[in-house]
Chain A
Amino acid sequence: MDIDVKKLHPLEVKLLRHVPLGRKFSHEDIMDELGYKVGQCNQAFSWLEAKGLLKEVSRRKRTLYELTEYGVSIGKEGLPAERIFSYLKENGAHTLPEISEALSLEQSDVGSAFGLLSGGKSVRLNEERKAECISSELPGQVKGQRALLDKAKESHLLDEAELTQDEKKTISQMAKKRGALSSPFKLVEKEEIVYEMLPEADEVKKELEKAHITGEEFGLLTPEMLLSGSWKNGTFRPYGVDAPTSRLIPGRTNAYGEYLTWVKDKLTSLGFEEFDGPLVENEFWNGDALFMPQFHAARDIHDVYRIKDPVHVKYIDQPWLDQVAKTHEDGWNTGSRGWGYSFDHEFTRRQVLRSQGTVLSAHQLTKAKVPGKYFGVVRCFRYDQVDATHGADFYQTEGIVLGNDVNLRNLLGLLKMFAEEIAGAEEVKYVPGYFPFTEPSIEVHIKHPKLGWFELGGSGIFRPEVTKALGIDVPVLAWGLGIDRMALMHLGLDDIRELFTPDIEAVRTRRGN
């Protein structure tokens, strides 16, 4: 037998132990005998049926008449016809409105009851148009109705199958299927199903008896049981410990946010201090301070989002503006020959949305300490078609290292540290790269245990045209990490837009690997 009797519900247990093999039973039987409610019967029957312990034998239609509240009340106080008849017997002839007034009955009810009484030759209207008794007996029809009300007094229920032809006829005038509020009976059509236990149930029953499971075991332990000590007088029902659990919706951090937090923690643990800044930047910080010539292809209108209003920042802080402008024009004192063009002082004030995290590294130079290590995980905006690999806005992870003696080999060391600590790289490869603001520039490629070879980030040593113009005389290592790809892998996603999804269910169920 493949049924674990310990997992049976008390409703099943009691039923199994109660019904002998071969007996046919219905809902009503079980409700009477075990005190189950209809719903409990339904549950127990369907569970046992699914387990192959019980089967349906037959079903038949039943027509029942349920006594309504109105039916109960007239059963006690009398039918309108009965009340009118006895009123007339006691108080002599009265007009119909007088009767209606005296008995607090609707005129229409009085009218129809009078119809019944006069039709049955028990009352009549005299010359004064007053009703008066002409018999000491109620009409047979009223007596029939009274008999039915009395019959239903106890159970509030009459089964059509148990009624005589006459009774059936009478009750059909007293009952309605719907809107039965003003009728004494409500007509209910029911299907009665008859069940019996299958032979397997007997085996289960024996198992239950052997295991002393009665179905009367304690369910929930309640404070009352503790207070009264009643728990000592019984046993606890064992639960199916592997039953499916209900869903809980906890308060949670966002899985992507959690990853970014982890990256920030990692960087602070490596001695980096966090920076941040406003979303609205200007061409000066977004490009000029990074020694990108104003005529650079990447600074065209189609590469950066401009702000509609205010179009320009009021001013750029000095001495940075003059120093950067001079550096672009002829190199100033940075040792460079510059770009050799005339710096546009209006263009430089044009406001844009930050297009790269390096902008904040440039800002940081003006307030950095030496030695110093800084980082930011910051939102950037790129003028790109939005698709699976490009978001309208996205996070970049960037930073700088300032030190009197930092050099290329330190940069490689730093990249190696990131590759191992943050990306879990197995192998690291460096190749020359190109960024307008660093020279030399290095790209770091890593072999990731899951993703294989990919470019982890770009880096370099800031050009002296960048650092000197912003007041820094020591070498500055600059780096940026493309952590999106690792974040996607970490979250089991392949579309960058998913990181920022507004879909609550998607975010609720997402977890990091």
Chain B
Amino acid sequence: MTTTAPTTVPAGTGRGPALLAVDGLTVRFRLRDAVVHAVSDLSLDLHPGELLAVVGESGCGKSVLAHALLGLLPRNATVTGRARLHPAAGEPVDLIAVGERHLARQVRGRAIGLVPQSPATALTPVRTGRRLLEETLRAHGHPRRAAADAAERVAADVGLHPVDLDRYPHELSGGMAQRLATALALAPDPPLLLADEPTTGLDRPLVDHTLDLLRRRCDTGAAVLLITHDLAAARRVADTVAVMYASRIVEHRPTPDLFDHPGHPYTAGLLDALPDRAFTPVPGHPPMLTDLPAGCAFTPRCPRTTDACHTTPRLAADGGGRLACHHPLTPGAPA
């Protein structure tokens, strides 16, 4: 595995070693007659206690990032770069280089929990919630006796009533199924949680409940990578927000800064699309990931485009964050 241009700027502010350090992660899918550029040269650090939200339009590569970290990509994917996980105890592992066997035994569920996008398809239909939870807990070393109690405790933590635990997944409403899937991810108490659109289809109170749950995990020392299209959700709980556009991170900064002073024209456009702001879409359409323009992929939609934009901008330090733009909006930023 080789990295392409390594990015030197760390996202964190030196709070000790990162739990997850992704460096130059690149994912390509080979199709019959095309190559999908799903993730390009992506670098980020995630520290214990940090909640990082990755936001972007649908189809920009957000979910692929989560699946790449867990080794869950289909066979036609090529992954390069590094993603080093530093567990509190034990050796650091490179999630990209390490084999399936290690991922299955040591990483998935144990070191990295996944809150899936669609609980309906993530839950075994022939087991009740209680059995799913107890199985998970036992697989992670709880003795049989303790598992029953622990299952109820974890369920209560996510707001599931013990009565609902005795139901089968199809008997649960979407919100309850989502809470069960969240409970399953939290049960082994993994130091890193990947939440892939965990709030899709939930009503507002449940969205808030799920987000607050993730936030509390962070406050007790876990790290969370929240993948979402919902800017309001990111704003509610995230410490930092990374904006992805056409397979790349184009901007990454502390949440209040990003919402108040976006540096990238795309971030600004995305914020302007919010119903409580201008409610106007970003003009044009996102490019196909099979056919990205040379240079900055936002060029065709960007009001600030010049000739300089035909070379790909580097994701460089900017204020308290990182930015990849030749003509940023923030005054005083290095051009």
Asked if A and B bind, the verdict is no
- B residues at A contact (CB < 8 Å): none
Chain A residues engaging chain B, CB cutoff 8 angstroms: none
